Amino acid sequence: MSELSIRPFEDCEHQYAALAQVESELFPDHPVTADTLRYDDHALDTTKFVLQRHMACLPQGDVVGHAVYHHMESLFHPQRFWLWIAVRPAWQRRGIGTALYNTALKDLQKHSARWLHTSARETMPHAVHYLQQRGFRETMRSWESHLDVQGFDPRPFQASKGRMQNEGVVFTTQAQEKTCRSTWLQELYELHTTLLGDVPFTAPYTPPSLDTFAQHNVYNPEALPDAYFIAKHNDRYIGESVLFRSQAQPESLYQGLTAVRREYRGRGIAVALKLATIDYAQCHGYKLIKTWNATVNTAMLSINDKLGFVRQPAWIELRLELPEEQ
């Protein structure tokens, strides 16, 4: 398209609003706000990590697509990047995605990039095919799952609560711990990063910094301190299950990590934590909880199935290995 121009992103309200429009049109069941995108960008420490966006613009300035690449702190390698390209549905199949991809790839070569990671929904086979044509290969799939909150019946699971109490396991929240434990942040960070080490990833795990953890789980405007549930045993943090609100979909919640330390697994603690999040959602009038789990994470998928989560189309993670510079 001769009238199209690819421009570097400008950190301003107008362009973040344009990004949000592109993403929300492409995935209307997962809309985002400009504020959410801006916060996520600013939460990445760009003195240590690379973050670059480009916009595909028409002559009158309308944004029809964008590309972003950045380091991944939890899978960090200086030559490893996440790459994401999005084009508004009405403007697809016109070469816009290719123009954005070529621009990003040229940039990434300046950073000596070796591995590019991305994802595509299985309901978008044209996107998967596009990536495969360029050498991307599938590395993992994750089920998206939804729970109808108001339709959930907690009665069949009541016995698990009593069993936890008998075993000395108690449940609290980030909000409660802040008021009574001076070391809560450091201890919660240690728990979270330990648990993340057992999550299926497509590259070696590197723990994020304490500041990054706090930016995403404490100061994030979508964080819910009273919905960050923590399991304790002998006053030690042993498990967590976390909910985030959606600024763009106030009736929905996103479920973050649910996990338990290895030595405490198999006791029903993860189920009890998930029940606490569902109870929170019911009491606060939410309609839907959305979560994602790798297809190889059979233990958590089994728990979700037991609780009534319904699987949606999967997300496919893909990786491109670029040739090493000679």
What does the block give as tokens for 81?
A: 């990047």
Residue 215 lies in a domain: yes
Residue 106, domain extent: 5-113
Our count of domains for the chain comes to 2
In terms of C-beta density within 10 A (0-12 exposed, 13-18 middle, 19 or more buried), how is residue 287 classed?
Answer: middle
Cβ–Cβ under 8 Å, residues 281 and 149: yes
Print pLDDT tens along the chain (326 aa).
Answer: 568 899 999 877 889 999 999 999 999 999 999 999 999 999 999 999 999 999 999 988 899 999 999 999 999 999 999 999 999 999 999 999 999 999 999 999 999 999 999 999 999 999 999 999 999 999 999 999 999 999 999 988 887 766 777 778 999 999 999 999 999 999 999 999 999 999 999 999 999 999 999 999 999 999 999 999 999 999 999 999 999 999 999 999 999 999 999 999 999 999 999 999 999 999 999 999 999 999 999 999 999 999 999 999 999 999 999 998 64
CA–CA separation, 79 and 92 (whole Å) = 30
Q: Is residue 138 part of a domain?
A: no
pLDDT tens-place string over residues 45-103: 999 999 999 999 998 889 999 999 999 999 999 999 999 999 999 999 999 999 999 99
Residue where the block lists tokens 């942040």? 185
Q: Where are the alpha helices (DSSP H) in 121-228?
A: 125-133, 158-166, 174-180, 184-196, 210-217
pTM recorded for the entire structure: 0.93
Give the pairing of strands 137-148 and 288-294: antiparallel
CA dist., res. 140 & res. 316, Å (int): 6
What distance in Å separates the CA atoms of residue 199 and residue 297, rounded to the nearest whole number?
8
Q: Are residues 163 and 213 in the same domain?
A: yes
Q: What is the CATH number of the domain that holds 94?
A: 3.40.630.30
Please tell me whether residues 90 and 164 are part of one structural domain: no
Task: Give domain status of residue 240, yes or no.
Answer: yes
Q: Which of 72, 95, 113 is the last residue of a domain?
A: 113
Instruction: Please check whether residues 106 and 149 belong to one and the same domain.
Output: no
Based on the number of CB atoms within 10 Å of its own CB, is 194 exposed (0-12), middle (13-18) or buried (19 or more)? middle
From its phi and psi, is residue 61 left (phi > 0), alpha (psi between -120 and 50) or beta? Answer: left
Residue 108 shares a structural domain with residue 167: no
In terms of domains, do 64 and 185 share one? Answer: no
218 and 74 share one domain = no
Tell me, what's the pLDDT at 12? Answer: 75
Same domain assignment for residues 239 and 150: yes
